[in-house]
Amino acid sequence: MSNSMPIASPVRTQAIVNRYFMHAKKNLGQNFLVDLAAIKGIVEAADIQAGDQVIEIGPGIGSLTEQLLLAGANVLAYEVDQDLPEILNNELPQKIDGEDLKDRFKLVMKDVLKANFIEDNGGFLNLSKAVKIVANLPYYITTPIIFNLIKSDLDFSSLTLMMQKEVAERLVAKPKTKEYGPLTIAVQSRMNVRLAEEVKSTSFMPRPKVDSAVVVLTPLIEKPDISDYAFFDHVVKMCFAQRRKTLVNNLKALIKDKDEREKIISDLGLDVRVRPEELTLEQFVKLVHLLKDQQA
């Protein structure tokens, strides 16, 4: 098989599967992208330029990695499947225009949830400069990966992540929709979130049961006034504990007295019958301040 065909094609992917007697491991969320246009969409959404520093999560057989390297990026990749180093080593392009691509790729065989970026990197990327995170995520750990990255000390300029469409819709949701909830607010209170691309299940091998979407997260320029994120996340979760009930009702777990609860709603300028999904991020921030003042 000529390597002039991209790994992200059904024919080349099938040839790799046959050559190495491999099978996609469901428990590792292995659905390989075989749609070059979808991958180019990810590379474009991440705005990859020559010389960019990229951390990729789960390179698999290298379909996205190959396009990141061809776009000129330096790629540090985290993978856990011990069958893949040999495949990546043999199948990723070795050279372009005389340049040795191996110098721009480093594989770390480690669970990304246990990553220590500085230690694992070993001087490969210059981590005093911002990196871009790019991944077709293993879907079974989508939210822990996002939160680990957001909460890490790593200086990143963007996270461009393929995930199940249903989760993507929750990340970008607006108030008064059924997708809007604690996950939306936890992420939007920390990052800008943009939906870049929707990808059908036919773009993968094997095909997942769900459709997918690419979301780009970038650091907020104006951060909301939240001093204690753990408390903020906790309050938001309590507010949505029973999303069909009113906010006053859900707040019972935090404040026993009904009059006090109603006073907080009226201090927010809201109707006493308001439901949690009607509050904007700014209103949740204000609510948390009122609760803190009340506890003081």
Instruction: Give the footprint of ligand SAM on this chain (CB under 6 A).
Output: 28-33, 57-60, 63-64, 78-81, 111-113, 136, 138, 141
Integer CA distances (angstroms), 191 to 157, 169, 195, 269, in order = 11, 15, 13, 26
Please say which residue, 112 or 183, places its beta carbon nearer to ligand SAM: 112
User: If you count them, how many residues does the chain have?
Assistant: 296
Q: 32 or 180: whose CB is closer to ligand SAM?
A: 32
Q: How far apart (Å, rounded) are the C-alpha atoms in residues 84 and 15?
A: 15
SS3 state at 79: strand
Instruction: State the Cα–Cα distance between residues 61 and 19, nearest whole angstrom.
Output: 12
Please check whether residue 31 is in contact with residue 24, taking contact to mean a CB–CB distance below 8 angstroms: yes
Please identify, using beta-carbon distances, which residue of 141 and 254 lies nearer to ligand SAM. Answer: 141
Residues 136 and 41: their CA atoms lie apart, in Å, by: 12
| Nearest distance from C-beta of residue 224 to ligand SAM, angstroms | 30
User: 6 vs 182, which CB is nearer to ligand SAM?
Assistant: 6
Q: CB count, 10 Å around CB of 61? A: 27
Least separation, in Å, of the C-beta of 110 and ligand SAM? 7
Q: Find the shortest distance in angstroms from Cβ 261 to ligand SAM.
A: 42
Distance CA 39, CA 291 (A): 45
Q: CB of 255: closest distance to ligand SAM in angstroms?
A: 40
**Residue closer to ligand SAM, measured from CB, 57 or 265:** 57
Please report how close the Cβ of residue 139 comes to ligand SAM at its closest, in angstroms.
Answer: 7
Q: Give the separation between CA 82 and CA 107, rounded to whole angstroms.
A: 11
Angle made by CA atoms 158, 34, 137, in degrees to the nearest 5: 35
Q: Which residue is nearest to ligand SAM (CB)?
A: 58
Q: Minimal distance in Å, beta carbon 31 to ligand SAM? A: 5
Minimum CB distance to ligand SAM smaller for 63 or for 184: 63
